[in-house]
Amino acid sequence: MLAMIAATLALAQTAPVQPPTFWVTSSLDNVFRDARPPSAAAPVPEMTAGAVASAASGQAGVFLTAFKGQTVSAQIVLLSDDAPNEAGLPTSSPLKAPAGKPMPATVFRAAFVDYVRVEKNSTATPAPELARKAPDDFPDPLSDAATCALRPRQAQPVWVAYSVPRNAAAGDYAGEITVPLSAGALRVPVRLTVLDAALPADTRLKVTVWMDHNSLAKRLNAPMDTEAFWTALTRTAAMMRDHHQNVILTPWSLIGATRGADGKLRLDFARFDRWVEIFLAKGFQGIEISHMGGRKNGQWEDTEFVSYPMAATGPDGGKPQSAELEEWLPLLQEHLKQRNWLTRSIIHVADEPIDVNVASWRQLARRVKRAAPQLRRIDAVHVPDLAGDLEVWVPQLNYYQQWEKRFEQARAAGSEIWFYTAWVPQGRFPNRLMDYPLIKTRMLQWLNYTTGTTGYLHWGFNQWEVPFLQFAPGDNAIVYPGDGVPKSSLRYEAMREGIEDHEMLCMLEDRLGATAKRLGLPQVDARKLALEFARQAAAGYETYTRSPDRLEATRAAIGRAIVSLDGPVPCAILARQAEGGEVEITGFARPGAVLSVAGMRAAAGSDGRFSLAVAAGGTAMAVEVVLDRAKLIVQTPVVGG
């Protein structure tokens, strides 16, 4: 990298190179090549105790708020003039706090954002719901390159992130990011507020994104059944787990089968076990066994589902024979039991039954249950009535909306309900398509919380052999072929942060419930209170916010509430901009507590609820909470302000 920059400097001796313009924006901003800096960048704030910081568009620095154990990100956008310029990968100084140990520079990550040519937009989405009309180059892959040639007059975003250590002290940290350039370096101020709470290592939302192991082997140049493949798989498992995936689709084709001269079927689980052991070692919780069957002729409206036979080598390596699921599935169930993997395992019947073939699907589901009665069944479904034949229901998001009451009834009867997306739904629904605003990817897991669904499924982790535009741009993959491990993307990082947002909402509900119990308030509905926060960003399936700033303000309010519930006067405060210009401040506090802000006061009632309205006064407000001799000052963001 240094040699390349030195060569560029030598070239620049006859034509001085000017440093590029830069600005900082949200990691949810789709930065196209023709992006230009805002007319005025927000100044770097002086951080005071409890200040609210977020990565909003047009800032002159990186301002972030995080829990311990959480990763938060932003983008630095470089815009060069007409002269050649070269940027090196940014580095960060240690982040220093007024007291305590600095946060080491090793918690910092950075990557140049690459572009993908999209010739055609998602066909069922209106123009206002797209990031941009195709054809154009869309930002998405995170490069693994150490340098980047800055194109004259074209924006180049750099994704930057901090992963806060679990042992970090709460407080306000400051430092700077350095971007090496042909013409010296850019220095970007950093302000990071660490809240006094920790995100758990094991987030509770169940997440599976299906990996094509054959494509992984092909594109990473790691042939199947070689040590290079198992090494690549291990690295990929670590990447998935870092992005909070905790359920892994496990192909039963990894199981070897032979039939002896006595006609008895024998299974070899060596490859299957090695696969499972790799993912469990990385912290995965669920083993999701691949589908037992599919549509007879491969057509969507086939009326019949058929089972997939297992190929078995004949006696002494002779002519291959097949085994139906009734013969081999009981052996798999017994093996899972012996390995103590049975309770964490689920099995697919056949994908996406619809009205014309649901009767046949049910027959296959019952065959699976008879063969392996202790294995729970899971499937993506397009119908609302599968009672008795499915334990984990995964409706497509729009079908969950359509039949919400019926799925809630199934949940009340003991079924587990997730949802999934693929190239549909489109329209105004959120999804993780490449030509969508990035906030649509992140909002998926907010809807997991508001709907009460406990899992999310998508078929496209690395389906690289599927043509890019066969369904919709970005549907087939959320990562890219890399050197020994897939490369991440802006969408994959947005999904990771969305899962962390979901966990924060669950933490808020937990803290509200525990606080109400401690205070002897059984009438308090903790989930209802947490939903008041959640719906500031995710009001409905199609009415969620499209504003990264509003999402970040809501997330910051949730973080402040979680911390404040452990304060000397427990409280959870939500400040939101009202249409009339006032700020409405509501929430929960210990009964009798008095809340004061901007000269206005309100007391929490016997149920802990309070409400007051004050004149608008910026993007954050300091709320004083007093009870007897205890006092707390809560700096809370104004949502929508």
Q: In this predicted model, what pLDDT tens digit does every residue of 332-382 receive, in sequence order?
A: 999 999 999 999 999 999 999 999 999 999 999 999 999 999 999 999 999
Res. 386: pLDDT tops 80: yes
Q: Which domain holds residue 586?
A: 543-639
Angle between helices 526-534 and 490-518 (to 10 degrees): 150
pLDDT at residue 38 in the model: 85
pLDDT cut 70: percent of the chain above it: 94
Strands 620-627 and 184-198: what pairing? unpaired
Res. 285: pLDDT tops 70: yes
pLDDT cut 90: percent of the chain above it: 87
Res. 561: pLDDT tops 80: yes
3-state secondary structure of 227: helix
**CATH code, domain with 145:** 2.60.40.10
Res. 317: pLDDT tops 90: no
Is position 527 within any domain?
no
Is position 320 within any domain?
yes
CB proximity list for 537: less than 8 A, separation 6 or greater = 443, 446, 544, 545, 550, 551, 554, 555
Q: Using alpha carbons, select from 296, 250, 254 the residue that is nearest to residue 271.
A: 254
Residues facing residue 625 across a β-bridge = 595, 632
CB proximity list for 7: less than 8 A, separation 6 or greater = none
- What number is the average pLDDT over the span 168-180? 96
CA distance 56 to 63: 8
CA distances from 312 to 316, 317, 489 (A): 12, 9, 40
Number of domains in the chain: 3
Is position 422 within any domain?
yes
Residue pLDDT, tens place only, 388-435 = 999 999 999 999 999 999 999 999 999 999 999 999 999 999 999 999
Banded model confidence at residue 40, pLDDT cuts 50, 70, 90: low
pLDDT at residue 17 in the model: 54
* Gyration radius (Cα) of the chain, Å: 27
Q: Are 368 and 325 in contact (CB under 8 A)?
A: yes
Alpha helix (H) residue ranges in 519-547: 526-534
- Do residue 444 and residue 556 come from a single domain? no
Res. 480: pLDDT tops 70: yes
* Residue-by-residue DSSP string for 142-210: E---SEEEEPTT-EEEEEEEEE--TTPPSEEEEEEEEEEETTEEEEEEEEEEEEEEE--SS-SSEEEE-
Banded model confidence at residue 49, pLDDT cuts 50, 70, 90: very low
Residue where a domain terminates, one of 178, 198, 218? 198
Residue pLDDT, tens place only, 249-261 = 999 999 999 999 8
- Average pLDDT along the chain: 93
- Do residue 165 and residue 223 come from a single domain? no
Residue where a domain terminates, one of 449, 479, 505? 505
- Do residue 557 and residue 467 come from a single domain? no
Q: Using alpha carbons, select from 192, 188, 266 the residue that is nearest to residue 24.
A: 188
CA atoms within 13 A on the CB side of 161: 23
Is position 484 within any domain?
yes
Banded model confidence at residue 46, pLDDT cuts 50, 70, 90: very low
Q: What is the token pair recorded at 489? A: 């993307």
Q: Are 286 and 344 in contact (CB under 8 A)?
A: yes
Is position 518 within any domain?
no
CA distance 80 to 85: 7
Q: Are 345 and 357 in contact (CB under 8 A)?
A: no
Residue 392: in which H helix or E strand, if any? strand 392-395
CA distances from 41 to 21, 22, 56, 180, 413 (A): 11, 10, 10, 22, 54
Is position 460 within any domain?
yes
CA distance 192 to 61: 11
- Do residue 489 and residue 406 come from a single domain? yes
CA distances from 160 to 19, 521, 597, 614 (A): 20, 44, 36, 37
pLDDT at residue 47 in the model: 36
- Is residue 560 left, alpha or beta, with left meaning phi > 0 and alpha meaning psi from -120 to 50? alpha
Res. 589: pLDDT tops 60: yes
pLDDT at residue 382 in the model: 98
CA distances from 69 to 167, 196, 237, 500 (A): 8, 11, 19, 10
- Do residue 495 and residue 557 come from a single domain? no
- Do residue 270 and residue 163 come from a single domain? no
- Do residue 210 and residue 285 come from a single domain? yes
Residue where a domain terminates, one of 459, 482, 505? 505
Q: Using alpha carbons, select from 458, 446, 451 the residue that is nearest to residue 400.
A: 451
pLDDT at residue 91 in the model: 98
- Do residue 178 and residue 211 come from a single domain? no
- Do residue 244 and residue 324 come from a single domain? yes
Q: Using alpha carbons, select from 232, 184, 208 the residue that is nearest to residue 290.
A: 208
Res. 572: pLDDT tops 70: yes
Q: Using alpha carbons, select from 189, 193, 166, 192 the residue that is nearest to residue 179.
A: 189
Is position 515 within any domain?
no
- Do residue 192 and residue 210 come from a single domain? no
**CATH code, domain with 439:** 3.20.20.80
Res. 514: pLDDT tops 50: yes
- Do residue 435 and residue 565 come from a single domain? no
CA angle 12, 14, 19 (to 5 degrees): 40
Res. 3: pLDDT tops 60: no
Of 55-59, 167-171, 174-178, the poorest mean pLDDT is in 55-59
- What number is the average pLDDT over the span 283-288? 98
Is position 607 within any domain?
yes
Residue whose tokens read 């497509």: 396
pLDDT at residue 184 in the model: 83
CA angle 388, 392, 398 (to 5 degrees): 105
Beta strand spans in 80-144 (E) = 85-88, 91-92, 108-118, 136-142
Q: What is the token pair recorded at 314? A: 């004949």
- Do residue 214 and residue 189 come from a single domain? no
- What number is the average pLDDT over the span 279-297? 98
Q: Using alpha carbons, select from 275, 307, 302, 271 the residue that is nearest to residue 288.
A: 275
Q: Are 588 and 508 in contact (CB under 8 A)?
A: no
Q: What is the token pair recorded at 227? A: 């040590």
CA distance 458 to 430: 13
CA distance 117 to 501: 30
Of 81-90, 237-246, 263-272, the poorest mean pLDDT is in 81-90
Cα-flanking dihedrals φ and ψ of residue 77, to 5°?
A: -105, 125
Print the SS3 string covering 182-193: CCEEEEEEEEEE
CA distances from 441 to 11, 237, 406 (A): 43, 21, 26
